[in-house]
A and B are shown apart, each in its own frame.
Chain A
């Protein structure tokens, strides 16, 4: 008997959405990462079964493309743009500053799971170089001296959220 929509897993819903597509693997992976923030192992297993694609192929694809993550990235993903315009205007100093302030290397997540630091390719706001994107918020013409302030702003945001959730 066919499952109703409530009974479908998020992955089944994603697979259904692209049922008309030929070779929908990458689109389904995008869908999972958008909702979960990364591709969990059990999700890869389920995709393999649903799309009838070998698990090795799925991991081959996930690890080839920079966009896909195998680990949960934390609550705030800090993306420092390292495109050419940002490079010329000191993106490396921003990476260093975030790295020192949070005590993590690019590609790592803080122990409390709040911040994930990554350097990314051009985000396409070259006119505002150097640029840092944190989740959906873009910081243009950011100076290293402003970094502690930006981190504090996000910490405060998370604290308020936790307090709100508790009350």
Chain B
């Protein structure tokens, strides 16, 4: 049977899309579905049908459009006219959009000039030229909100699987790794390890069978980048896995996804089925020697499984406890075979890097941090949502321009990045560029992409206790520094919170933090003290206030 003709699928799909004079994009990611976007879709479909416009209008359910706090989001694109984005679209309003915006806009008499929206509709629009959109740079999220994630044709129409075709027909694994090296891509799960290095190690490992694992065990509370990517563009992640497999010489791929993300799992399953049907997965892909298959494994609510060796233990059906490295997974991974393990966002970057070249990707960023990064911007900020920015942009621009500043009347106090493994960056340091190394110097980490804005009401002692409480709960209990140290540390913080602390406790806290950092077995324990250390460094006064408050009484 001849291999699939990607170019033909692309052209057919573009032609099919162009046959509609109006396309309505409705965000169908977990956030907007929670705000009843499926009801909006039903109402739109009904209205389109009742106006007899089924041949003119296509309704496209999409992935995340970004402005999650204002969902359900609906974007209307009438051919030849400016796109219009509506917020908080309920079923009633959805019907009005069809009858009062699209129907008149499509009428022949007004086709030649821009249709003017009536005010009651205009009041519910979000201008598409605001800083929230203008300051972003979409690479990973390029398709999010623009395509139906459940359609392989839609992905191919946006040059999907072009990179796979290019590398399978024209490039050697070494040339692929060279492009990744040029791009400067580093692990987006939090560690920031250079991807080209990881792939080289896995490639060099000699074995009959190798694996690629996509780490979708996003556990950082307050972050949902990977979930959104899997929901918005599953084929991009799958194509990234295929490229990683060819580059490292792997035969099988495993998607490890949190069970708490049912929609992401469903869309990934569908993507795999579609790829198989189109012979982009299986034997002799695109008529080459390259054969590859994939399966999905579910996480079961253990934060520690984001750590690579714990994740592997979990795939092997055991409790997810980490083991000492080396050997690294690239030498001895799942079922003792060499395994290349990358995070969802990392892999989703790969197809566009191979399509456009490493240099193209490296045009954004700082010396050591290239490309773009997706963040979940949440907390006390006006535009809470999913964003993608070029590395190097200052935190101030992110928080004030994209985020629109504080959502409360209070001033912003700090920005937290890296979740339970990260730290706080205080208001005075907001000019810091988004960069792996600069964040680390400031006592935080880039992390997987949680960015939480805190205002004057948020107590830093409480924040430290919150994160530490999380890691203590999630500690697997294997090594003593993490299991016992974390608990002791939490007890001390609670003592201080209750106003019973002494200055000596602060010394004990510092000592315990140091011990956990240097002696814990895995990243969870080593980084667990970070939120404590960083709040203590920048906001020691808040700790002292709690201590002194009792003395004063």
A residues apposed to B, CB below 8 Å: 21-27, 29-30, 53, 57, 60-61, 64-68, 82-85, 87-88, 120-129, 131, 138, 140
Contacts and interface: CB of A to CB of B under 8 A. Distances in A.
A21 B34 CA distance: 34
A127 B317 contact: no
A21 B334 CA distance: 13
A131 B34 contact: yes
A122 B221 contact: yes
B260 A85 contact: no
Contact of A83 (B71, B221, B384): B221
B222 interface: yes
Contacts of A65: 300-302, 319-320
B224 to A, nearest CB: 4
B221 A82 contact: yes
B222 A30 contact: no
Interface string B20-52: 000000000011011100000000000000000
A140 B220 CA distance: 20
B259 A30 contact: yes
The 3 closest A-B pairs by CB, nearest first: A127-B68, A84-B222, A65-B300
B301 A121 contact: yes
Contacts of B219: 121-122
A82 B458 CA distance: 16
Interface residues of B, number: 54
Contacts of A26: 297-298, 300, 314, 317
B334 to A, nearest CB: 9
A128 B31 contact: yes
Contacts of A88: 379-380, 452, 454, 458
Nearest to A88: B379
A29 B297 CA distance: 12
A61 B317 contact: yes
Contacts, number: 127
A157 to B, nearest CB: 17
Interface in B325-345: 335
A126 B380 contact: no
B318 A85 contact: no
Nearest to B219: A121
A127 B222 contact: no
A85 B317 contact: no
Contact of B69 (A64, A122, A127): A127
A17 to B, nearest CB: 12
Contacts of A129: 378, 384
A126 B379 CA distance: 8
A128 B301 contact: no
21 contacts: A26-B314, A30-B259, A57-B318, A61-B319, A65-B301, A66-B302, A84-B379, A84-B466, A85-B222, A85-B378, A88-B380, A88-B454, A121-B219, A121-B260, A124-B260, A125-B31, A126-B223, A126-B224, A127-B384, A128-B68, A128-B69
A86 to B, nearest CB: 8
Nearest to A34: B259
A30 B154 CA distance: 32
A30 B69 contact: no
Tell me which of B67, B68, B221, B466 has the highest count of chain A C-beta atoms within 10 A of its own C-beta.
B221
